[in-house]
A and B are shown apart, each in its own frame.
Chain A
Amino acid sequence: MVVNPVFSSKLHKQYSPMKRRKLLQSIALSAGAMVILPSWAQGWSQERIITTQVFKIEEKEMLRLIAGTFIPEGTSKGANGVGVERFLDKLFSDCYTEGDQHKIKTAIQSLSLQADLNHHLSFGACSAAQREGLLLDLEKSAEHLWAYTTLRAETIRGYTTSEYVLTEHYHYVMAPGFYHGCENV
C-alpha cells in the first residue's frame, strides 16, 4: 500500500490513532485491493511520519547480523567487512516497494522471536551456528521464503560487487586495454 506522506500527516493532525487506522483501512478497502495494513501504521507518530528512514535502528542492526551470518568474516573479509549492511539498507529503502519492505521486516521480527524462543537469546547473542540455523528455518517457512531468498541473494550481490572482492579476489580491471581471444590458462 502506498501512503502519500502529505496525506498521512493530514490524517495525523485530524484524527486519533484509532480513527486514523480505521480510516486507512477503509481507504485500502475502497481501493479494491488486497491490502494488509502494515503493523507499523499502528504506531505512527509525528517523528515516524517525517523521517525518511525505512528501517529502525534495531532493524538495521538485524540486517548487519543477517549479512554477517550468510557471509561471516574469516581469513578473508566477510559481508560486514565490506559494508554489505549499508548496501542492503539503501537498496531495500530506495528500490523495494513498501509491501516488499514489510515482508523483510516481518522476517526480521520472526528471526528475533525465534532466537528468543529457541535459544533464549537475542539473534545477535546467538552463536554463528545458531544464527545459521535460524536463517535456514526461515527458508523452510512458506511465509518467509521470499524474504530469505531476497536477503541471501542481495547479500551475495553486495558482497561480490564490493571493491574488496572484485579487486582482491576477482582480478577486476575496468579498462584492460587489450583483448586476447585464445591464450593459455
Chain B
Amino acid sequence: MANLNLNIAKKNTYDVIVIGSGASGGWAAKEFCDRGLKTLVLERGRQVKHVEDYPTASKAPWEFEHRGTVSLADKQGFSASGFMREETKHWALPDDEQPVVYEKPFRWTRGYHVGGKSLLWARQTQRWSDYDFEGPIRDGFATDWPIRYKDIEPWYEHVEKFAGIAGFNDNLAELPNSLVQPGFELNCLEQHFKETLTKVYGNRWVISGRCAHLTDPQEIHFQQGRGRCLSQRQCNRGCNYGGYFSSNASTLPWAAKTGNLTLRPHSVVHSIIYDEKKNRAIGVNVIDANSHEMIPFYAKVIFVNGSTINTTAILLNSTSSRFPAGLGNDSGLLGKFIAWHNYRGTANASFDGFKDKKTAGGNPSNAYIPRFRNVLRQETDFLRGYAVGVGGGRGEYSKQTGIGDTLRDNLLNRQLGNWNISAWMMGETVPTEQNHIRLHSDLKDKYGIPQIIFSCDWTENDVKMVKDFREQMQEMFEKAGFQQIRTADSKSAPGADIHEMGGVRMGKNPSHSLLNEWNQLHACKNVFVTDGACMTSTGTQNPTLTFMALAARAANHAVDELKKKNL
C-alpha cells in the first residue's frame, strides 16, 4: 500500500502546477515549458483544441438553423440564458456547475474550458503607466503597489512580441507605447472627433485601441501556426486563422511542442496542500469533474491562475493549522478589496456629414481615449477617472415598411445611413475592504466545494464618476458637432464589465497585502498568483495584457529562484 501511494505520488509529481489555462495561466505554462520545467496545467472545464473545437468559427448567418436564437431546450439549466446566442452557446456555463450566492447583485462571467476567457475577451491591450501604479499611494487608497512601470515594461514587450499587437506609437505618457504591428486606422468620424478633442482640450487623445490581432505576422507567429487577422469579427467563436491571441491558438500549443506540458482538463481544484513540517505548499487537491474522485498532484511551485474570484476562493478553501483562514492569509485580507471596472456610462450620437465617405472591410478594434481625469493631479470631486471606448461607423439600412412587393423592394434596397458614434465608459473603481468575497459555511457545490458569497457594491465615487462621464461626453460630442446626443447610466450590476480584480492583492507590507513584488504569497513563497486576483488597484485599461506580463515575469522569477535553490 505504501509503495502504491509512493508510485501514485511519483506519477502525479511535476516541477510546476499551473491552475487555470486562460490568458495568464497559458503564459505561465509557456514560460515554464520554454525553460525546461515539467508543467502540469489544470483546467476545470473541457478541452478546446484550436480550430477543431470551434464549431461555429466560420459559419455564416444562414447556417444557423435558428439564425442565432437559442432553443428553449438548450436554455434549460442556464439562468443567464438571456445572454445566450446560438453562435456561442457552447461556451455557456450551466447553473449546476458552480452555484454561488449573490449577497449583493453581481454578474460573474466564467470561461470554464481550455483557454478560459482568452477565447472570449475584447482583445484590447493598453499598457499601464506609473499614473496607474502610483494611484493608490498618491490618492491614499488600497495599498502601495510593490512594482512600478519599469518593473513590468520589459515583460509587456516580451508578451506583446509573442502575442502580436496591432496599434500605433501614440507617444502618450499616460499610455506608454507598445511593441506594435500596423494598427487599424481611425475612420473619418473618429478622426474628426480626435482633431476636435486635440484642439479643444489638449489632453484628451483619441487613438486606435491597441489590440491583440496580427496585422503583420512575423516568424514567431508563423511558428505558433497563426496567420494574419482577416477582419472576420466573429472572434468570440474562436478564430480558425489564429488572427487574435488566445491560449488555445498561441501559448498552449507552443508549450505543448516543448514536450514539457501536461494539460489536464476536467480538473476542479479543491485546495492547495500545505505541508506544516516543510512550511511550504507541496501540491494541489483536484476533484476529477467526471468521477468526482479527489486526486492529489505535487510540485515544487504552484501558480494560481484560476481567474480572480476562483483563485481567491481556492486560497480561502486551502486551510491548515498554520493557515486556518486560508493559505497565506496572515493579514486577514484574503478575499477583500475586490474591485472591477465601471462600465455603467454610455453615450451615442449621429453626425450629419461625410456623406461622400464610408468605411470598408472590418475593424476588429475600436477607438480609445485614455484616462484624462485626475491624471497629473486631483481635479474633480471623485478619485481616479475613466478611459473611453469609442466606436463610430456608417451602417447600411433598409426600410422595413410596407407589405408584399413594396416590402421586398424596400428590404433589398439598402442604403448608407448617417454616421453614428457611440462611447462607453471604462472607469477605475477604488477597492474597499467592504467589497469582498468569502466562502459559505454550509452550502457546497456538486464537488463538495464551499459556495462563494459575493458582497460587492458600487460606491459614491463610482456614481459621481458616471455623472462626470455623461457630462463630459455630452460636451465633447457637442464640440464635435454631433447631433441626437444621448447619454445613459445602465446601472448594471458590478462584474458586468468582466474585469473583476483583487482579493489576493500585491503589496510591500505583508500586514496590508497577500503577495510580494514577484506575486509570491508573503507567507508561502512557492505559491504565486498572477491573474486578476493579484491586482492592488484596477487602472482603467482592459487588464488582460497586464495579467499576462505579470505571469511571464513571475514565472521567470520562479525558474531563477528554483535554479538558485531558493524555492
Contact = CB atoms under 8 A, between A and B. Distances in A.
A184 B234 CA distance: 26
Given A182-B191, A183-B359, A184-B356, A91 B416 contact: no
Interface centre among B62, B359, B360, B414 (most CB of A within 10 A): B62
Given A161-B62, A179-B361, A181-B186, A72 B408 contact: yes
Given A90-B65, A95-B69, A163-B62, A74 B408 contact: yes
Contact of B184 (A74, A177, A179): A179
A114 interface: no
A176 B362 contact: yes
Given A70-B404, A91-B67, A94-B72, A170 B359 contact: no
A128 B358 contact: no
Nearest to B60: A174
B61 interface: yes
Contacts of A116: none
Given A78-B408, A94-B66, A181 B72 contact: no
A7 interface: no
Nearest to A163: B62
Contacts of B190: 181
A47 B186 CA distance: 61
Nearest to A177: B230
Nearest to B243: A175
Contacts of A69: 403-404
Nearest to B68: A161
Interface string B500-522: 00000000000000000000000
Nearest to A153: B400
A138 B340 CA distance: 49
B289 interface: no
Size band of the interface chain B makes with A: 35 or more
Given A71-B408, A90-B65, A136-B403, A176 B361 contact: yes
Interface in B63-89: 65-67, 69-73
A15 interface: no
Interface string A148-185: 00000000111111110110011010111111111111
Contacts of A14: none
A157 B357 contact: no
Contact of A165 (B360, B412, B416): B412
Contact of B67 (A157, A172, A176, A182): A157
Contacts of A74: 405, 408-409
A179 B359 contact: yes
A175 B414 CA distance: 20
B333 interface: no
A6 to B, nearest CB: 15
Nearest to A79: B408
A130 to B, nearest CB: 11
A176 B66 contact: no
B231 interface: yes
A76 B190 CA distance: 37
B319 interface: no
A70 B407 contact: yes
B256 interface: no
Given A94-B72, A163-B60, A176-B230, A132 B66 contact: no
B185 interface: yes
Interface string A59-91: 000000000011110101010000000010011
B523 interface: no
Contact of B403 (A132, A161, A174, A180): A132
B81 to A, nearest CB: 11
A156 B400 contact: yes
Interface in B37-59: 58
A72 B60 contact: no
Interface in A87-113: 87, 90-91, 94-97
Interface residues of A, number: 43
Nearest to A169: B412
Contacts of A94: 66, 71-73
Interface centre among A169, A175, A180, A181 (most CB of B within 10 A): A181
A97 B76 CA distance: 13
A20 B73 CA distance: 26
B341 to A, nearest CB: 26
Given A174-B232, A177-B361, A179-B361, A161 B411 contact: no
A147 interface: no
B134 to A, nearest CB: 35
Contacts of A179: 184-185, 231, 359-363
A182 B230 contact: no
A135 interface: yes
B187 A181 contact: yes
A76 B408 contact: yes
B170 interface: no
B566 to A, nearest CB: 49
A179 B229 CA distance: 11
B71 A182 contact: no
Contacts of A185: 355-358, 416
Contacts of A176: 230-232, 360-362
Contacts of B69: 91, 95
Contacts of A128: 404
A67 to B, nearest CB: 11
Contact of A181 (B71, B359, B400, B408): B359
A165 B234 CA distance: 20
Contacts of B412: 76, 165, 169
B188 interface: yes
B396 interface: yes
A74 B412 CA distance: 12
30 contacts: A70-B404, A71-B408, A72-B404, A74-B408, A76-B412, A87-B66, A90-B66, A94-B72, A94-B73, A95-B69, A95-B70, A135-B403, A156-B400, A157-B67, A159-B411, A161-B61, A166-B62, A170-B396, A172-B60, A172-B61, A174-B60, A175-B230, A175-B241, A176-B230, A177-B228, A179-B359, A179-B361, A181-B184, A181-B359, A182-B357
User: 4 smallest A-B Cβ distances: which pairs?
Assistant: A181-B187, A182-B188, A94-B71, A175-B230
Given A90-B65, A91-B67, A183-B358, 13 more contacts: A69-B403, A72-B408, A94-B72, A95-B66, A128-B404, A157-B67, A162-B62, A178-B361, A179-B360, A179-B361, A179-B363, A182-B357, A185-B357
